[in-house]
Amino acid sequence: MIAGASWTWWVGFHAVVAVVLVADSFLPGHRRESRNAPAPNPRLAWLGTAGLVLAAAGFACWIAAAQGRQAALEFAAGYTIEASLSIDNLFVFLVLFQGFRISRQQQHKALMWGVWGAFVLRALFIAAGIA
């Protein structure tokens, strides 16, 4: 057990994250390298964000039913803090992309390398911390 969760849970969690990252790399809008590719659709981005917030709210309700109100409130607080920190990261990405003159077509590739790097390093650090 690691922090109250079994090894199976940790391995399963990392497997799900890896599957989601691989699936994201196959989405239709990310493989176009053409300069004529359409700009991202803000409405679709807002709908995706709303979907994720609704999924988190549903998960918080499940936590409340399974583990009580306090645990659900802790999850909601953590989710809100992480969401605000991710918005801060967007400004950092914007500055880096502009500073290094990364084209709009290459930004997804750069972000995917960063996410995969963080995923692998976190898994290694968790394993090293346990050992």
Span 17-26, mean pLDDT?
Answer: 83
The pLDDT tens digits of the residues spanning 104-127 come to 878 888 888 888 898 889 889 988
Q: What is the pLDDT of residue 77?
A: 97
Query: Quick check: 11 and 127 in contact, CB under 8 A?
Result: no
CA distance 43 to 87: 18
The pLDDT tens digits of the residues spanning 42-67 come to 898 899 899 999 999 999 999 999 99
CA distance 126 to 14: 11
CA distance 4 to 13: 14
Q: How confident is the model at residue 31 (pLDDT cuts 50, 70, 90)?
A: low
Under DSSP, the state recorded for 130 is H
The pLDDT tens digits of the residues spanning 63-105 come to 999 999 999 999 999 999 999 998 888 899 999 999 999 988 7
Say if pTM beats, i.e. exceeds, 0.75. no
Is the predicted pLDDT of residue 34 greater than 70, yes or no? no
